[in-house]
A and B are shown apart, each in its own frame.
Chain A
Amino acid sequence: MAQIFHPNTNAISRASIFGALFAVVIAGWLLDSFNRSDYWTEVGVPRAQPVPFSHAHHVGDIGLDCRYCHASVETSAFAGMPATEVCLGCHSQLFNKAAILEPVRASLREQKPLQWNRVHHLKEFAYFNHSIHVAKGVGCSTCHGPVNEMPLMWKQNSLSMQWCLQCHRHPENYVRPKEAVFDMDWQPPADQAEQGRRLVELYHIAKLEPAGAAPQEPRKSASASKAAAAKSSPDDYFEEEQQTGAAPVVKFRDPLTNCSVCHR
């Protein structure tokens, strides 16, 4: 009787054995890279706004300070958005006829607030507080990028958890002197690693307590050893477990990578 298969189907069947494996791996890889893609995270995608407000112009050209509009950034979790009256503080004089600013004037006239489209959107279960970051030397541009060059605002970073953790695990790579926090042109110095470590010490970042209040005796029931406070080693969530007395003792390094810092 006639052959059912052409001889070279053997080759196919052999290939298929490995092919199956490959297919699975490739699919997984595609999925992951799609999840990280700019298309998905909308990094670098400018957002249309009711009024085409240009940070490039206001910050870059004119040199407005961030806090002029985002007033509560140093005191509150929310950086704050300027009320219409703030815009018109200047624009009642400058370009006060410009058609492009009509929505702003309308807003005051009709007492209807402007509706800006949110660019940086964190999931509701992630709690972010601007004031503490600003207070500890995390610059605006570290997360928001070169705002002074953005005609329309876009996301510079993905805001994924992994991205947050880069800094929460190694703040020394990112912190800058407090006075430079609002400086858009600040660039990390050559010895950032060194500088950063110094600042982390200075600002009491990534330490359980400011040096002022020396930590007390560790809790008796909790700890078999009476060793002094854990000093921050930048690598791990825990320091190396060390065998002391009855049970090993785990020394916590720093609370920045602790879940409840961002999730409550």
Chain B
Amino acid sequence: MSAAISSIEPMTLDALRRKLAERGSKPLWRSLDELAETPEFMEYLHREFPKAASEWQSGTSRRRFLQLMGASLMLAAAQGCTRQESQAIVPYVEAPRDFKPGQVQHFATATSRGGYGLGLMVESHDGRPTKIDGNPRHPYSHGATDVFAQASILNLYDPDRSQTVLNAGRISTWDQWLTELRPALDRVRAARGRGLSLLTGATSSPTLIAQIKDLLQQFPEAKWHIHEPCDLQQHRYGGQTAGQRPLDKLYDLTKAKRILALDADFLGSGPDSLRLTRQYAQRRRDELSSAQMTRLYSAGPAPNCTTAMADHHRPLPAAKVRNVLFRLNQMLSGAEAKWLPSGLAADEQAWVDTVAADLKQHGAESVVIVGDSQPADVHAFARDANRQLGCVGPQGCVRYVASILAAAADGVRPLAELVDDLNGQRVAVLAMLGGNPVYDAPADLDFAAAMKKSSATSIHLSAYDNETSQHCLWHIPALHELESWSDIRALDGTASIMQPLIEPLYGSATKSAHDLLGVLAGEKAPKSAYERVSAHWTQWLKDRQPIANFDVTWATWLQDGVIADSASEAIGADAALKAEPRDEAAPNQDLEKKSPTAKSLEIVFQPDVAVWDGRYANNGWLQELPRPISKLTWGNVAGVAPQLAERLNLQDGDLVTLTLDGRSVEAPVLRMPGHADNCVSVTLGYGRTRAGHVGNGVGFNAYLLRGRENLNSAQGLEIAKTGRKLDLAMTQHHHSLEGHVEWTDNTRPEPVRSGEIADFEKDPHFLQQEFDRHSPPSLLPNFEYSGYAWGMSIDLNSCVGCNACVVACQAENNIPIVGPEQVRNGREMHWLRIDSYYRGDPTSPETFFQPLACQHCEHAPCELVCPVAATTHSPEGLNEMTYNRCVGTRYCSNNCPYKVRRFNFLEYNDATTPVLKLLRNPEVTVRSRGVMEKCTYCVQRISAARIVAKREDRSIHDGEVVTACQAVCPAQAIVFGDLNDPKSAVNQRKASPLNYQLLGELNTLPRTTYMGRLRNPNPDLVALEADRSQAPNATVHPLDPQQLGAG
């Protein structure tokens, strides 16, 4: 053992590079540890039974033990027989109109994403919403949704939701609150609203904004503050752009041949990511020629979906984006005379110059995208660049519109001002409509202290009794978006009506912001949210078309989920530039000093891709969602570059103390290939203390480091090792093994097939192998499918690894969560997982995604070995799993080469919490302990479609059956359909020369096939990156002629 370890060299990047070189032919690798075979890692692998302890802790008391024992035996008995327990059928007293029991209905509504609207189409079973999908008519959904929309259904039924009015933590009532509030309100009214402060999150809801404006008219001296922790363009709320509306950018990537994304994850997050992903993927999939194919450059601090898709990713500290844009503009303008130092290292500058040349060449067909986390002047730089490229305008790749979010222009004041007022005892009544400032306000504001200090009557409307509620005099339980009427506008201004799908689960105590504002406005007879919304839009319609019939239009709006021509006007490029003028002088001082060094590191704050700003912390689906690339679940980490980790001698899971401006937190480290050097990235939204049973105490709270001045990134971070270690729960890399064997890896076929567009043009079939074209003979019988033959195609070129499909599958198929301990054991239950692989240099490798679910093999190895015929082959080629026949020998899983089967090792499904029963999809059996499960191609949807078709005596149309993962995918990477229908979309996909079978050499004949990944690298840049390592790390002097030559 020890000998074996000592024989292995310690992990250095050079060592890694050497290993890669030895392997030759640039193999795929999964994790740094796998590559390195580090002693720590092996020691970790060889720890004696790490699980034993936990099993002891989870031991049960003797009495409980006996109870359960009896129960489980009874269960055994009950399961064995068919005698029926008595059960009641409860019909309506008066049946609702057009309602058929046991039939699915769909309703269009919308959800809020940091104030911006996203159109939804919600599935309802017998009056209870069970599944959320995108609204095809909505410009920012097109039928797709992100992980949050998928998972928000779980928040609706969350048993931890607050259910009663609380007065200083004691249970109270709504009326109680009204009576006790009245005197305070009267005093405020007497003072023309002085002392009334309103705190909301970012919102674009016309009704809500109108309501607040009315309130402000009533109380001229009242103040309206907005706090949206993860709206990264904080400058909106007061500050330099007061009086003006900040700009929003509307990109159109269908025309973009060259994209430069700077610190921007436009594919992974943001209000328009779904739309952009679709456009990007479409082009990437359809334009398969080096002339037409999109080329994506990206530079930024932390790896994410966008950097993973990029043809060239350049790890770059957030602070240097300004420098890059500065240099870029110089290159584009080409006015060499007044060139100033860009503050970039030589190789960085060379990179920018090459990219600039490429962009310039494509002019209006290229676009620069800058992340919201960048300050206003950087955005101004970007607009300048885009204007110089000539891609601004209705025909171009980007348009500018005035943001529809309530902002300074609407009289919104910054949060800091509220804190001052609180400390200065200038607040009599503080009404917080949602939000959780005590937890997520900038640390240096110390909101909690201010709350304690202030004597104001504080009211907190919130779905959870959270950290802030704790500090408030009154807590009012809030309605879920699916329980109340409201409205919202999308990025481009398109408005949608949000309609309730279910009566408030927790009764009349739960209220909406509209109700609360009504009370504050002192309305005698409070209107219902419905009345307010409909009233607002009646007015809106009257103003535009006086003669229209409101009821009819209203009905159409509700049905479509969007309000026709409600979008806002675009602003011209020059106007846009004026809107937020950039200070020509400003950057030049910044350029030098801003960039991080080994002494003072940079820290980047990002919203978490699973729990966002912390509002989803109590959502188990999201907590257990493997983050893209890192595959981390149940917690957040401090991401660092491998080379930085090497210098600081850090391993994955090492606990470090992060210190910034005297504030510090402890965080586990995770090395991220492709991360910027001298830079640490942390995600917000963790370390909640009052999130609920699921979210409490998971991860660390990065807000504690976040100051008001540097909300998105900061310099001068110190990092210190604590010597302690954390066992991170990861779904893929905990699978890593040391003792990886090079001499076989050259021959082992790679799961992800990828190549370059150039090679593709030479030979379109270059990724295919013999067995992809025609299958070898087999001893097993071939089935002949005279009816439907269901199949799937997954395009690795389109998949951006956003995880939406994983949650969609979980929601559709009643897939349980298992918790971090089980995830560490490798027992996560996701039917659909997304494997990620790297290729190339660890400092900035290429990244690959591969969604993997049951492949539904023709020659399915699992079917042969099941002793009880619980998994069988269907006449339509499905590989079916009959849960109630399964006895749990797990032989099928052993024999599955894809290892896509999931087993209920313990009782994972919560059968006790009543409210969760409402959540489940009634069309899918809830699996008990000891049963195998796996992807079924959403067989319940196939059956439903078949029954309808058979009733109408026709065959199922192409596209009539849509699997959950396919429906949700913004990139349209997944296509499902009938292989016996030559015209079907899936057959079109499979006809592609890129089509290949995973492990086809085993002759399993998978029904799911993949389309290989094509990259479109820039030859100049490839050459440049080849000798990057030798480049001297010196900044460029502007007047150095040879450097100019390089430019």
Binding site for B on A (CB under 8 A): 35, 40-42, 72, 75-78, 80-86, 107-108, 111-118, 121, 123-125, 127, 129, 131-132, 135-136, 158-160, 204, 208-210, 212-213, 215-225, 227-230, 241, 246-255, 258-261, 263-264
Complex Cα distance, B942 from A77, in Å, reads 15
* Cβ-defined partner of B982 (8 Å) among A35, A42, A216, A264: A216
User: Contact at A264–B940, with CB atoms within 8 Å?
Assistant: yes
Minimum C-beta distance from A143 to chain B (A): 16
Chain B residues whose CB sits within 8 angstroms of the CB of A113 once the complex forms: 90-93
User: Which residues of B sit under 8 angstroms from A250, Cβ to Cβ?
Assistant: 781-784
Q: What are 9 sample pairs from A and B whose C-beta atoms fall under 8 A apart?
A: A83-B94, A107-B93, A115-B90, A116-B90, A117-B86, A213-B955, A218-B786, A230-B786, A248-B781
Additional A-B contact list (20), CB under 8 Å, known A222-B858, A241-B781, A252-B785: A40-B83, A42-B84, A76-B103, A80-B100, A83-B94, A85-B93, A115-B90, A117-B89, A121-B87, A123-B82, A123-B884, A208-B788, A213-B955, A215-B786, A217-B982, A219-B789, A229-B786, A249-B782, A253-B875, A263-B885
A41-B83, A223-B782 known; A77-B102 Cβ under 8 A = yes
- Is the CB–CB distance between B874 and A80 below 8 Å? no
B607 interface contact, C-beta 8 A: no
- 10 closest Cβ pairs, A-B complex: A208-B787, A229-B786, A78-B102, A252-B875, A246-B777, A81-B91, A213-B955, A121-B84, A125-B884, A83-B92
B780: chain A residues within 8 A (beta carbon): 247
A124 and B979 form a contact (CB under 8 A): no
> Which residues of A have CB within 8 Å of B951?
131-132, 135
Residue of A nearest to B926 (CB): A124
Known A-B contacts A222-B877, A261-B943; the reply to A216 vs B100 at CB < 8 A is: no
Inter-chain contact B880/A112, CB cutoff 8 Å: no
Interchain CB contact under 8 A, A212 and B953: yes
Q: Which chain A residues lie closer than 8 Å to B84 at the CB level? A: 42, 118, 121
Q: Is the CB of B785 within 8 A of A222?
A: yes
A77 CA / B707 CA spacing, docked (Å)? 58
Would A248 and B782 count as touching, CB distance under 8 A? yes
Question: Can you name the residue of chain A whose Cβ is closest to the Cβ of B791?
Answer: A219
Residues of A near B875 (CB, < 8 A) are 208, 252-255, 258
- Please judge, given known A-B contacts A78-B101, A118-B88, A230-B786, whether A212 and B955 are in contact too, CB under 8 Å: yes
Q: Is B954 touching A212 in the complex (CB atoms < 8 A)?
A: yes
The residue among A35, A127, A220, A222 with the most chain B CB atoms within 10 A of its own CB is A222
Distance in angstroms from A160 CB to nearest chain B CB is 6
B936 proximal to A (CB < 8 A):
yes
Q: Are A131 and B93 in contact (CB under 8 A)?
A: no
Closest to A220 in B: B774
Q: Chain B: which residue is nearest A208 at the CB level?
A: B787
Cross-chain contact of A72 among B81, B102, B936 (Cβ < 8 A) = B102
| Residue from B89, B788, B936, B951 whose CB has the most chain A CB atoms within 10 Å | B89
- With A41-B82, A249-B784 as known contacts, state yes or no: A117 contacts B884, CB within 8 Å: no
Type the 1/0 row for B954-968, where 1 means its CB is closer than 8 Å to any CB of A. Answer: 110000000000000
A127 and B94 CA atoms in complex are apart in Å by 27
A260 to chain B, nearest CB (A): 5
Which residue of chain A is the closest to B938 with respect to CB atoms? A264
Q: What residue of chain B has the Cβ atom nearest to residue A134's Cβ?
A: B951
- Residues of A near B778 (CB, < 8 A) are 246-247
Q: Is A204 within 8 A of B981, CB to CB? A: no
Query: Given A41-B82, A76-B100, A131-B947, A264 and B783 touching (CB < 8 A)?
Result: no
Interface residue ranges of B763-799 to A (CB < 8 Å): 774-775, 777-789
Task: State the Cβ distance, B332 to closest chain A Cβ, in Å.
Answer: 52
A86 and B95 alpha carbons, distance in the complex (Å):
9
Bound CA span A35–B144, Å: 50
Chain B residues within an 8 Å CB radius of A86: 95
Give the docked Cα–Cα distance between A224 and B780 (Å). 12
Tell me if B878 counts as interface (CB < 8 A to partner A): yes
B91-114 contacts to A (CB < 8 Å): 91-95, 100-103
Chain A neighbourhood of B872, CB < 8 A: 258-259
* Chain B CB within 10 A, most for which of A75, A127, A228, A264: A264
Known: A124-B925, A248-B782, A251-B784. A118 touches B87 (CB 8 A): yes
> A221 to B947, Cβ gap below 8 A?
no
Q: How far is the CA of A125 from the CA of B878 in the complex (A)?
A: 19
With A108-B93, A222-B785, A254-B875 in contact, do A259 and B882 touch (Cβ < 8 Å)? yes
Residues of A within 8 A of B774 (CB): 220-221
The answer on a CB contact under 8 Å between A219 and B979 is yes
Asked, given contacts A81-B89, A246-B778, whether A218 binds B939 with beta carbons under 8 Å apart, the answer is no
A116 to B92, CA, bound (A): 12
B83 near A247: Cβ-Cβ < 8 Å = no
- Residues of B with C-beta under 8 A to A41: 82-83
A263→B882 contact, CB < 8 A: yes
Does B924 reach chain A (CB closer than 8 Å)?
yes
Kindly provide the distance from the CB of B518 to the nearest chain A CB, expressed in whole angstroms.
29
Interface residues of B in 563-605 (CB under 8 A from A): none
* B950 on interface, CB distance cutoff 8 Å: yes
A253 contacts which chain B residues (CB < 8 A)?
Answer: 875
Q: How far is the CA of A55 from the CA of B484 in the complex (A)?
A: 43
B residues near A42, Cβ cutoff 8 Å: 83-84
**Cα A260 to Cα B91 with chains together (Å):** 29
In the complex, which residues of chain A have a beta carbon less than 8 angstroms from the beta carbon of B88? 115-118
Closest chain B residue to A36, Cβ basis: B82
For the complex, give the distance between the alpha carbons of A197 and B810 in Å: 43
CB distance from A135 to the nearest CB of B (A): 5
Given the interface contacts A78-B101, A241-B781, A251-B784, does A83 sit within 8 Å of B883 by beta carbon?
no
